[in-house]
Amino acid sequence: MMRSRHGKMRGLLSVVSVSLLVFMLSVCAEAKDPASSAKKIKIGVAGPMKFSWGKNMWVGAQVAAEEINAHGGVVVKGVRYDIEAINADSNDYQSVVDAVNTVKRFITVDKINFLIAGARTEATLAQQEVMADYRVIYIFSGGGSPVMHTRLAENYERFKYFFNMVPNAIDQNRTYGALLDTAAAKIREDLGIAKPKVALVMEKAKWADAIVDAAKATLPKMGMEVVGEWRPSAMASDLTSELSAIKAAGAHIIYEVFTGPAAVIFNKQVGELQIPVAVVGVNTEGIGMGKRYWNETNGMCEFETAVGWDFGSVEITKKTAAVYNVLFNRIKEIPFMTAYTCYDAIYLLKEAAERAGSLESDAVVRELEKTDYAATFGRVAFHPKGHKWPHGTVWGAGYQTFIGFQWQAGKMVAVWPNGRSPHPALDAGSGWEGLKYKGTGDFKLAPRMIKYWKK
């Protein structure tokens, strides 16, 4: 019996010794690799993950988090933190309730420090209420209606936690207006049409309402005539009736505004029906698909011109090409806007937290307000408290301009900024003369349009 007990004791001691050895080795490993014992900063990324907008949000955030963690993490008052990015499909396009519940779950269950989210203004307005209730910083992935900022101007203390990575719809409209001005100038020059007619085709969404209103007010001042307004669903599957009406109205230009999959159907049908127009404007879903969009439209999208993100061919800032290449290699197609905005948002949060020496929301807000950052597709600075759009991104020459791309022979070619100042009616400010990013080409009209309208 004594031998048996001694044997058991020796076995127990062996187990204890092994456990102690494993513990000591793990301690040594952590000492050699500080990152393994770093504290965490949780950043929730919420978006429509079934669509290009959301998918690219997540990739951009992941890449930035990986880079930051690999290069020392976030250091707040001498303490290292690693970024832990988590994602969720907030279903913004189809359900405001889903969008709100996703944010609530991130805050109350996952205990996030910061939020990057947003795709549709209607959903974001509801999410802002949750943000304000819990005082969690919310960086919007890009654009949207100015109402998201006017409510901040009216109640700064409640909504000050909201920042937008991209200029709002009214500022964006100045870019779209410049693209329309480029098309109109070409139509006047090549076709001899003094007053081009424009059809407005804009998805039925709150964020697009401001663009419709701005277009109706501004295009006539630019020497163009608005011949009609069509507001299909972003999820529409057939737009032949709209296109027939547009052709009958004698339109030379279609001013499109789409964020949903209807854009793919629309531009495919423009080509199939041989509608003799220049399509110019916004097509985030199509642009986000890159070469796949060209294939899905069977090349019918050729000569469509829209704000785009194929930054592999242009040089906007020193980091544009490098970030584009990293994102492209991860996504395996042209990165969409939200890949860049979420990538840059992670870095903005890192720098603001380090400057603040805190992860507390009010302290980080104060530092975010000081942002002046050379991002991947332009300089990011936020409008200050007291502006009509507080915490909105500054638009203009030397800041964010957006890039106008045109599909030409299966490639997206940058065609704007083109070195010329936008029409004075756009109130675009100064600094545009000579602003032409390296890699920019010339805008072209579709041959079918020249054949139909040539006098």
Q: What is the pLDDT of residues 202-213, one digit of tens each?
A: 999 887 888 899
> Are the CB atoms for 312 and 325 separated by under 8 Å?
yes
Residues forming a β-bridge with 279: 254
Residues forming a β-bridge with 414: 405
Q: Does the pLDDT at position 22 exceed 60?
A: no
Q: Can you tell me whether residue 17 is helix, strand or coil?
A: helix
Q: Is residue 12 part of a domain?
A: no
Same domain, yes or no: 284 and 411 = yes
Same domain, yes or no: 181 and 271 = yes
Q: Is residue 326 part of a domain?
A: yes
DSSP of 24-84: HHHHHHHHH-GGGG-EEEEEEEEE-TTSHHHHHHHHHHHHHHHHHHHTT-EEETTEEEEEE
Same domain, yes or no: 182 and 157 = no
Q: Which residues span the domain enclosing 181?
A: 170-314+402-453
Q: Is residue 412 part of a domain?
A: yes
Q: What integer pLDDT is reported at residue 144 of this predicted model?
A: 84
Same domain, yes or no: 147 and 259 = no
Q: Residues near 363 by Cβ (< 8 Å), separated by ≥ 6?
A: 356, 357
Same domain, yes or no: 303 and 198 = yes
Residues forming a β-bridge with 282: 257
Q: What integer pLDDT is reported at residue 204 of this predicted model?
A: 92
DSSP of 429-450: -S--TT---BT-------HHHH
pTM of the model: 0.80
pLDDT tens digits, 304-347: 999 888 888 899 999 999 999 999 999 988 888 899 999 999 99
Same domain, yes or no: 358 and 284 = no
Same domain, yes or no: 194 and 92 = no
Q: Is residue 397 part of a domain?
A: no
Alpha helix (H) residue ranges in 202-319: 206-218, 240-248, 262-272, 284-289, 291-296
Q: Is residue 391 part of a domain?
A: no
Q: What integer pLDDT is reported at residue 288 of this predicted model?
A: 60
Q: Is residue 4 part of a domain?
A: no
List phi, psi (to 5°) of 265: -60, -45
Same domain, yes or no: 248 and 353 = no
| Number of domain units in the chain | 2
pLDDT tens digits, 164-191: 999 998 888 889 999 999 999 999 999 9
Helix axes 121-134, 147-154, angle to 10 degrees: 30
Q: What integer pLDDT is reported at residue 37 of this predicted model?
A: 58
Same domain, yes or no: 159 and 216 = no
The CATH number that applies at residue 220 is: 3.40.50.2300
* Residue 397, token pair as written in the block: 């020459």
Angle made by CA atoms 374, 441, 266, in degrees to the nearest 5: 90
Same domain, yes or no: 80 and 147 = yes
Q: What integer pLDDT is reported at residue 1 of this predicted model?
A: 41
Closest CA to 306 of 378, 406, 408: 406
Same domain, yes or no: 155 and 185 = no
Q: Is residue 27 part of a domain?
A: no
* H or E stretch at 5: helix 2-32
Q: Is residue 353 part of a domain?
A: yes
Same domain, yes or no: 183 and 294 = yes
